[in-house]
Structure 1
């Protein structure tokens, strides 16, 4: 069944998060019915203020911003009513993230949702990483649910690299939270939003698929990223490594790195992640991203230059 841009209702969860900040602008010009789910009233107001002028220009005729606690099955059922497709982003490092995934899948199944897109993580089989392992169970539950699904597995988001801060500093310094020579593949939020929009539109072509969503073809450590950024920016970025204990104590910018509230589950998850990244990275192929986008995915050079243009540099 082809996508009906006028009548199909698309539900997006964690709609005020970093992923959806790049997804929603792709959806707005095309889909006329969107339901954006957030947990708090403050997040709801933020979305209303952010996208209100766009909606009022009649690019989108019927957009809802709803508050819901996805840990409550009834809330999940309420926001899934009448929905054609779900784009589900779970709350990272949440102690009930797996349960939330189950709740959303159950709710989608009960309402006969036609397509469930789950934004997971690269290599969810890595059990040493708590934030990966919980998504492994959600993937299994979704596969066995009978729902037509697409699972997306992004890696480290390039957008977390503090380019604005480094640009503003006369003597820029990047603070690494783990060995900066450990290599990663990276995902551009813009690429992910573009790809997810295409998947929503093409629908059946992507049923029952699991996709590694990586933008950069050459694995690089953060030291190499800083070396590349130094060349593009025209000033050297020094790299300093913050000791593990200082990072966990929230010294400097560590607490803001992930924007997470303090708590035992968050602490345990971040500890395991930092220790894992000290010795092992996350690497994958960019082939699937290139195929879905129909273009070359974003590389670091283009990403840095794009951010510099945004800053008027």
Structure 2
């Protein structure tokens, strides 16, 4: 199976989950310099691809049974990339295809969510049998901050989130690619509890045994600090997301994830304990 975007944290988790099922994983990477990362996650081979031009995609999908497509985060050409990857898979006759989307891809207050939704449509037009996974934000995004004792975010500390364990998402992704019955389906993948950032800090303090403070950053300060290294479009997309989070957080229904896992999804405390 081919994992597109295999060197990132999500791609590494997908590769590891597939490898645990005995799957031979080919990692699609933008540079051979990242090959060691992919091999460490369990990939058995690599293909170098340029998602923006499509160069290398036909070679990458040659001979594979399935594709997991994960686009670069907040990429302005999300729809074009999806079309190129899905077209290559269609030409190769790939029988299983999963697209990594996002929770609430129709939320017009977040432009990069809308691009995910448009990419879903493009994928389905080319590959009607494709499966779409729509994960919430990952618990893992805040683990490092919790360990440091300070969770600082550029949005409200008091709106709810149903964050999800990346390993749970990877387990489900591996399942939908290796077992029948998921063709043409779309699954929201949300965690089992609604927690604000302030509540997440309190849980972390209890589990880790040291103080963990929650701090709200001014979005402009984020834009001039951590966001300064991003492109203008990506920075604007994330600022719009933070505004949306101020209004209502990001909440989904855990029912699909629970059913697919056959157990209760991993909680925030569970991730920290692990």
Mark yes or no: TM-score above 0.5: yes
- Superposed CA RMSD in Å reads 1.8
How far 1:47 sits from its partner (Å)? Answer: 2.3
Correspondence for 1:213 = 189
CA distance in 2, matches of 1:232, 1:33: 37
How far 1:281 sits from its partner (Å)? Answer: 1.4
Q: 1:151 to 1:36 in 2, by over 3 A?
A: same
How far 1:223 sits from its partner (Å)? Answer: 0.6
Correspondence for 1:114 = 95
Local SS of the residue matching 2:56:
helix
Q: Is the 8 Å Cα contact of residues 87 and 117 (structure 1) preserved in structure 2?
A: yes
Local SS of the residue matching 1:156:
coil
CA distance in 2, matches of 1:141, 1:174: 37
Correspondence for 1:267 = 235
Runs of 5+ unmatched residues, structure 2? none
Equivalent residue pairs, number? 274
- 1:279 pairs, out of 238, 241, 247, with 247
* Larger-Rg structure: 1
**Quick check: 1:247 aligned with 2:222?**
yes
Superposition TM-score, scaled by structure 1 size: 0.82
CA distance in 2, matches of 1:218, 1:165: 20
Correspondence for 1:6 = none
Write out aligned runs for 1:1-313 (5 A): 10-48=1-39, 50-51=40-41, 63-161=44-142, 163-167=143-147, 169=148, 172-202=149-179, 204-215=180-191, 217-250=192-225, 254-255=226-227, 261-306=229-274
Q: 1:66 to 1:207 in 2, by over 3 A?
A: same
How far 1:288 sits from its partner (Å)? Answer: 0.7
Q: Over residues 39-86 of structure 1, what are the superposed CA-to-partner deviations in whole Å (9 max), with x where a residue is unaligned?
A: 1222223323x25xx67xxxxxxx211211112234222211122111
CA distance in 2, matches of 1:151, 1:99: 17
Q: 1:177 to 1:96 in 2, by over 3 A?
A: same
Q: Is the 8 Å Cα contact of residues 114 and 147 (structure 1) preserved in structure 2?
A: no
Runs of 5+ unmatched residues, structure 1? 1-9, 56-62, 307-313
Q: 1:151 to 1:297 in 2, by over 3 A?
A: same
Q: Runs in 1 of length 4+ with deviation above 4 angstroms?
A: none
Local SS of the residue matching 2:60:
helix
